[in-house]
Amino acid sequence: MGRKKAAQQEEILTHPVIFRVTEDAWKKLDKIRANSDCRTVGEVVRRILSRQEVIYFHKDASMDAPMENLVTIKEEIRRIGININQVTRYLNATKTDDEKNTHAGKVAELFNQIEPKIGVLLSLISQLAKKWLQR
């Protein structure tokens, strides 16, 4: 049993074109292939010859360090928030005033821990906003 016929017969590549390139040209084409949405060098060449768009992907490495800082701060704030929720639950479950005062002190202590993290987070966000909005 043979393969099914393609729905659009006019888009099938039927005529081979063979040409040679230098090592430097091959490296450039392969670099374009590696950083684009093309799977093969032949596809890169076909798109260039037919003047179709080649989508080139670029990663901005200057954003790696600030993003790592944001992720760690986010995790710390999340953990502190979980602790605040647990202490608040204990606070609401207790009956005596002494226990409530103890739990309220713990909540205040946790809020004091989170304050510097939010300050660092806001400064990082303002630096990133300056970089992103300068264009």
Angle at 102 between CA 117 and CA 100, to 5 degrees: 110
Hunting for tokens 């226990």 — which residue is that?
A: 99
Does 125 have pLDDT greater than 60?
yes
Provide the CATH number for the domain formed by 61-133 in this structure: 1.20.58
pTM of the shown model = 0.47
Residues with Cβ within 8 Å of residue 104, at least 6 apart in sequence: 91
Residue bearing tokens 């076909």: 46
What are 31-63's pLDDT values in tens digits? 999 999 999 999 999 999 989 998 888 776 777
Looking up tokens 């768009």 gives 53
Task: Kindly state the tokens that stand for 93.
Answer: 């479950």
The yes-or-no verdict on residue 64 having pLDDT over 70 is yes
pLDDT, tens digit (0-9, with 9 covering 90-100), for 80-117: 888 888 888 888 888 888 888 888 888 888 888 888 88
pLDDT tens by residue, 16-29: 888 899 999 999 99
Q: Spell out the domain ranges in the chain.
A: 16-58, 61-133
